[in-house]
Structure 1
């Protein structure tokens, strides 16, 4: 979260170009929407695979997201429509195209304002979210504006752990999509999960280049940039 927020601020100040990044979470974590003030007390004491499940706050809005078995994307850019839904749809172009290349047709969700009463981001799908043909939510996204600059980031459901999801939200997790890549998947292959992550990233990078007519350049953060990010990371912790 601290990296996403830093990239947005740097872009707002004209110090950093538009950015596309992908990342996973280690250990597992629950991210809360910026304005989310209520959550179960039990979330403070969750563990998974012998590690505490971290509780963090996003700079963007929305509801809680369990980051385990997912892949997160973040886009920082500018020059988009001031209408929020239009801006969402502009960014989501590459997600729809990329997943389409992998054989997954995505459409927008249609939940009304009632979604705000559901603490689980993946429990409903709004017009800013992307769903599969069976109506299940694959990608939940949130957006933050700072002047002309926009951060849009979101979680892409790949292979959620059923027991952990049940423990967190009290409901059965949406199914793994790994079977869509391998019909023989038995839920035990870490190699397949890693391979699918790489396939998804490759497809989405290609789609972003095509949709936005850009050429992406891989650039790691410098030590100085890491220090600046870490100096502001405490604001995203939930005590």
Structure 2
């Protein structure tokens, strides 16, 4: 989360070009929306496979996301016109295109602001989220905007543990298996080249892999304390 925010700031300052990154989480974690203050008490002391559940604050809004068996994306760019929802639709197009190449059609959700009463991000699907034809939510996204620069990041639910999900959110997991020929759901990294190509085709760009320098990594580490969850 600290890196996503740092990339937003660096792009806004003109120090970095537009950025797309993918990542998974180790250990598992719950990321909480920036304004999400009230959470179930058992989240504070929850352990799974001998490790405590990390609670992390996102710089963007929305509800809690369980990061286990998922792939997270983050996109930082600028120069967009239109409303927040128009920008969501523009940025999500590469996700729709990428998953369509795997014969999985996605469309936007239609839930209203009632999501604020549900602590679970995947409990509702708003117009910023992508759902499958049977109504199950595959991708939940959130945004942070600073002037004309936008960070949009989200979680793609690929291979969740139903028992873990049900214990944390105290509700059954509604999840459709992913019938992807040639790709196993647990092999999350396989999706990254496919979605990268979809982004290049959608936005008409060429993406170049680049790692953080040691000084950049240090700057991100110093920012990380901002995203620790303090009840």
Aligned to 1:13: 13
- The reply to whether residue 217 of structure 1 matches residue 216 of structure 2 is no
Q: Distance in 1 between matches of 2:197 and 2:96?
A: 12
Q: Deviations over 1:147-190 (max 9, x none)?
A: 11100000000011111101110111132534x1269xxxxxxx
Q: Distance in 2 between matches of 1:81 and 1:199?
A: 33
The answer to whether the 8 Å contact 1:159/1:175 transfers is: no
- The reply to whether residue 24 of structure 1 matches residue 27 of structure 2 is no
- The reply to whether residue 175 of structure 1 matches residue 184 of structure 2 is no
Aligned to 1:186: none
Aligned to 2:78: 78
The answer to whether the 8 Å contact 1:99/1:200 transfers is: no
Q: Secondary structure at the match of 2:160?
A: coil
Q: Distance in 1 between matches of 2:174 and 2:160?
A: 7
Q: Distance in 2 between matches of 1:132 and 1:233?
A: 34
User: For structure 1, which runs of at least 5 residues remain unmatched after alignment?
Assistant: 184-190
Q: Deviations over 1:175-234 (max 9, x none)?
A: 2534x1269xxxxxxx93443x23321211111000000000000111100000000100
Aligned to 2:116: 116
Question: Which of 170, 184, 192 matches 1:192?
Answer: 184
**Quick check: 223-232 or 80-89, which moved more?**
80-89
Aligned to 1:51: 51
Q: Secondary structure at the match of 1:232?
A: helix
Q: Secondary structure at the match of 1:7?
A: helix
The answer to whether the 8 Å contact 1:7/1:76 transfers is: yes
Computed over aligned residues only, the root mean square deviation of the Cα atoms, in angstroms, reads: 1.4
- The reply to whether residue 235 of structure 1 matches residue 226 of structure 2 is yes
Q: Deviations over 1:29-77 (max 9, x none)?
A: 0010001110011101111121111000000000011111100000000
Q: TM-score, normalised to structure 2's length?
A: 0.96
The alpha carbon displacement at 1:96 in A equals 0.2
Q: Secondary structure at the match of 1:55?
A: strand
Q: Distance in 2 between matches of 1:203 and 1:182?
A: 13
